[in-house]
Structure 1
Amino acid sequence: MILVDKDVNNSKKFTEEVGLPNQTFKNVKKALAWLSFLAFFSVLNETVFNVALPDIAKQFVVPPAVANWVNTSFILSFSIGSAIYGKISDMYGIKKLLIIGLLTYSAGSLFGILAYAYLPAIIAARFIQGAGASAVPALIMVIIARHVRSEDRGKAFGLVGSLVAVGEGMGPVIGGMIAHYVHWSFLFIIPMMTLVSIPFFLKVLPNESVSKGQIDILGVLLLSIGIVMFTLYTMQYNWIYIVISVVLFVGFSLHIRRAKEPFIEPSLFRKRKFIIGVLTGCILLGTVAGFISMVPYMMRDVHQLTTVMIGSGIIFPGTMSVIVFGIIGGTLVDKRGNTFVLSLGLFLSIFSFLIISLFLDETPWLMTGMLIFTFGGLSFIKTVISNSVADSLEPEEAGAGMGMLNFACFLSEGIGIAVVGGMLTKRTLDFPLLPTVENAASFLYSNVLLVFIIVMTIGWALYTLAFRRK
């Protein structure tokens, strides 16, 4: 969920403050090709491992709560890194940060392929990958804003956005094919392809002047460790983790009120609609992310599908439908308003959850059709949350506010995956409930889907109470 506003505002402010001329690429088509290339591979790695999680769990003989950390660790560092790179791009320059990010991304990939036989190393490699990959979405929009001619920017933003959507869609397909026909560990090789773009950006990006500033290191550490502790709690349900996380979050809250340049602006927490909009986005997007992470386990346990079939036959059609639904959602928001579109998106998602929950036993292809509704609803939800949060902010708050939205929603997706992993491991909901579900392998998944419906309904109620006039 990456928005343009934050980076464009920062780039304009930076240019005005330090007097940097608006540099342009001489070969715009070549520049756009390389930027799109980076955008594609940065988001591809968010989804490429998803279909391989059951294979990883089987190889290491671990429950889903542990295996899901292969994705959770990437998303946690990706979300935190995105916020950090966005804040320090004016301080250190885009060129240096982008190269560091790409090298870190590839270093994590190399470490992963070399240490694939040791699960803690795999999780660490994914964490390193996320820290490097986060530089791409955080900086790519700034590059376009600063170094692409104004008459070509619309084309650039549109092209990059399209490649992001395609990357998200192709991830499960590529991941499924490699995991099935070769081995899941070879998925670590894919991000190393981004190294071929480094010579181009070293040549064309200028060595920018930098502005003075400081990084709120203490704030980053307090928040990051607190998030990790909370996520560990969702995996093991050990009260020590939740106590530590609460202490760290309280410490972070006190710290940002005193820091000169806090990691998150404390004034944003006093804006009711903004906070509820972000919280709603976290609830809804985290729930859908958790559901998507559960699909491979569900299809493997209930219908014994192969990894390649899950990726290409089950998940791929739904992910690609996001492109179409994204266009429709933007048009509907302008014509019918935020509340209508959010309600429509939630209806599509909840409808798909209910049908899957009721008829999970029948055929795996039911999941293919329902995932189109799920991803369509997700596209509507993202559009509305972005629009609603933006409307709740003053122009001077747009950069910090939209950056916080991106950060929070990325985090919620990682936490959602961890929570679902914990639910599948604890198996508290593994009992017959719905009369239409007779296969014992389906009980747990069917009941978890009912929990998703309840959580999504709570998110809808929270939004309508705050934005009912919209």
Structure 2
Amino acid sequence: MNTSYSQSALRHNQILIWLCVLSFFSVLNEMVLNVSLPDIANDFNKMPASVNWVNTAFMLTFSIGTALYGKLSDQLGIKNLLLFGIIVNGFGSIIGFVGHSFFPILILGRFIQGSGAAAFPALVMVVVARYVPKENRGKAFGLIGSLVAMGEGVGPAIGGVIAHYIHWSYLLLIPVATMITVPFLIKLLKKEERRRGRFDMAGILLMSVGIVFFMLFTTSFHISFLLISILTFLSFVKHIRRAQEPFIDPALGKNVLFVVGVLCGGLIFGTAAGFVSMVPYMMKDVHHFNTAAIGSGIMFPGTMSVIMFGYIGGVLVDRKGSLYVLTIGIALMASSFLIAAFFINATPWLMTFIFVFVFGGLSFTKTAISTIVSSSLKEKEAGAGMSLLSFTSFLSEGTGMAITGGLLSIRLLDRRLLPIDVDHSAYLYSNLLLLFAGMIVISWLVTLNVYHRSRRHD
């Protein structure tokens, strides 16, 4: 009996180890190339609107794939899907590295990477729930969460050092390391029976086409792309109202607090992602920093601060409530953006502190939005609702990067708007920071208003 128990515990620990590896590298893959975007722009002689697709392409398939894997897991089995995702992620990495000198191949590689890496957040938590005993799940989730935060933290530093001293293309090979988990997971995970079920492929296609054309519009600002996107989304809404098992449950649209929480949360997360994608360009143009200094000196302290702020935010939500934490998070982000906008020509190390408080505020905001959205759902809606929040969050990050790249390229904001004495090269970035502050404050006000109204009706 003891021998059987010890073997079972050993198996659970081994599974957890390999899940931690997957979780760490999936987040690392999101962050590691961001700091190298200006270098990629120089190599290909392209504007940020095009170059930001290096990250947008990954986030696009990553967000859609996260929802897809979650829907397919009951039908095809977690083991098969997780192994498939690992292999596809590694395959995309190799394609991107081998063809990195051809921009379309690089983007294709990132598309493939994202479609494979999406399996990790979608399935890892399900594997923990199925294989790790209840009494150890809290520790397992905590360990995975810590490694995810660490991946976010060290990503810019690793990316900056490798890009500066070797070449940014080698960053594409980092996800190949997840391939070492394949033989172990094949042995450790049980084979599952396939279940019959319907899958809303038409809904997936309509939604994906609408998203892609909207992303193209944010890059080129051609009205035709926007019109196609709107028409496709209208067709998608019509479809999910008629489908028997729609990809997104239209009943969730009747929950006003849920809809506003998801949309405003997405706007905040997208704004933060846009800021992160802008910083490397700004530090190159305004302060002439090299890639290693941007990754290690500017971005690394901020991304690592997520670990501390995440814990504090969780404690404050329980003690003070989600609106209190959301307000603090918005205040931290908005004030940081405003300080950076007005003092953009000051010492470049000011941006290090700005990054810390932006990521701290973002961590607070994510905790609060998750709590608000989850509390607005009935028990039977919780799974679909929280999955949709996760999907929207990832998608918003990709959209924020695309829109920021477009604004950096068309130079619409490249003029003096604030009464400050800065170099002409800083106008664009200062105005973007002002725009970021305005966007998140508007999101906060809308969420606050709808939250209080919903509570009065209750």
Interval containing the TM-score (normalised by the shorter chain): over 0.9
Structural mapping, 1:110-149, within 5 Å: 110-149=94-133
Q: Is the 8 A contact 2:67 2:122 kept in 1?
A: yes
Mapped partners of 1:170, 1:59: distance in 2: 25
1:73 maps to which residue?
A: 57
2:246 maps to which residue?
A: 262
Gaps of 5+ in 1: 1-22
1:176 maps to which residue?
A: 160
Mapped partners of 2:325, 2:137: distance in 1: 28
Which amino acid in 2 is paired with 1:67?
V
1:325 maps to which residue?
A: 309
SS of residue in 2 equivalent to 1:417: helix
Q: Is the 8 A contact 2:23 2:121 kept in 1?
A: yes
Mapped partners of 1:68, 1:25: distance in 2: 45
1:35 maps to which residue?
A: 19
1:24 Cα deviation from its structure 2 partner: 5.7
1:27 Cα deviation from its structure 2 partner: 3.0
Mapped partners of 2:364, 2:303: distance in 1: 13
Instruction: String of CA shifts for 1:188-212, please: whole Å, max 9, x gaps.
Output: 1100000000011000101112321
SS of residue in 2 equivalent to 1:257: helix
1:352 Cα deviation from its structure 2 partner: 0.6
1:243 maps to which residue?
A: 227
1:277 maps to which residue?
A: 261
In the alignment, does 2:349 pair up with 1:365?
A: yes
Match of 2:397 among 402, 413, 431: 413
Structural mapping, 1:13-52, within 5 Å: 26-52=10-36
Structural mapping, 1:305-320, within 5 Å: 305-320=289-304
Match of 1:104 among 84, 88, 98: 88
1:150 Cα deviation from its structure 2 partner: 1.6
1:260 Cα deviation from its structure 2 partner: 1.4
Q: Is the 8 A contact 1:437 1:443 kept in 2?
A: no
Q: Is the 8 A contact 2:314 2:367 kept in 1?
A: yes
Q: Please give the TM-score of this superposition, normalised by the length of structure 2.
A: 0.96
In the alignment, does 2:145 pair up with 1:156?
A: no
Mapped partners of 2:266, 2:127: distance in 1: 28
Which amino acid in 1 is paired with 2:57?
S
Mapped partners of 2:256, 2:343: distance in 1: 40
1:439 maps to which residue?
A: 423
Structural mapping, 1:423-434, within 5 Å: 423-434=407-418
Mapped partners of 2:139, 2:441: distance in 1: 38
Q: Is the 8 A contact 2:11 2:188 kept in 1?
A: no
1:83 maps to which residue?
A: 67
Over the matched positions of the two proteins, sequence identity in percent amounts to 53
1:358 Cα deviation from its structure 2 partner: 0.7
In the alignment, does 2:291 pair up with 1:302?
A: no
Instruction: String of CA shifts for 1:298-335, please: whole Å, max 9, x gaps.
Output: 00000010101000100000000011001111111111
Mapped partners of 2:438, 2:335: distance in 1: 12
Query: Which region of structure 1 is more displaced relative to structure 2, 123-132 or 433-442?
Result: 433-442
Match of 1:293 among 256, 277, 284: 277
1:229 Cα deviation from its structure 2 partner: 0.2
1:32 Cα deviation from its structure 2 partner: 1.8
Which amino acid in 1 is paired with 2:78?
I
Q: Please give the TM-score of this superposition, normalised by the length of structure 1.
A: 0.94
Instruction: String of CA shifts for 1:48-75, please: whole Å, max 9, x gaps.
Output: 0100000000100000000000000000
SS of residue in 2 equivalent to 1:388: helix
1:344 maps to which residue?
A: 328
1:348 Cα deviation from its structure 2 partner: 0.3
SS of residue in 2 equivalent to 1:159: helix
Q: Assess, with a 3 A threshold, how the Cα gap between structure 1 residues 77 and 25 changes in structure 2: closer, same or farther.
A: farther
Which amino acid in 2 is paired with 1:235?
T
1:339 Cα deviation from its structure 2 partner: 1.3
1:25 Cα deviation from its structure 2 partner: 5.7
1:41 Cα deviation from its structure 2 partner: 0.2
Mapped partners of 2:133, 2:325: distance in 1: 34
Q: Is the 8 A contact 2:334 2:438 kept in 1?
A: no
SS of residue in 2 equivalent to 1:117: coil
Mapped partners of 1:24, 1:215: distance in 2: 35
Q: Is the 8 A contact 1:24 1:148 kept in 2?
A: no
1:454 Cα deviation from its structure 2 partner: 1.2
2:42 maps to which residue?
A: 58
Mapped partners of 1:127, 1:44: distance in 2: 16
Q: Is the 8 A contact 1:359 1:437 kept in 2?
A: no
1:142 Cα deviation from its structure 2 partner: 0.7
Mapped partners of 2:221, 2:233: distance in 1: 18
Question: How many residues of Structure 1 are paired with residues of Structure 2 in the alignment?
Answer: 448
2:3 maps to which residue?
A: none
Runs of 4+ deviating beyond 2 Å: 23-31, 433-437
Mapped partners of 1:438, 1:131: distance in 2: 42
SS of residue in 1 equivalent to 2:91: helix
Mapped partners of 1:428, 1:414: distance in 2: 21
Instruction: String of CA shifts for 1:369-408, please: whole Å, max 9, x gaps.
Output: 1111100000000001000000000000000000000111
Instruction: String of CA shifts for 1:89-133, please: whole Å, max 9, x gaps.
Output: 010111111111001000100100110111111111101000000
Q: Is the 8 A contact 1:25 1:31 kept in 2?
A: no
RMSD, aligned CA = 1.2
Gaps of 5+ in 2: 1-6
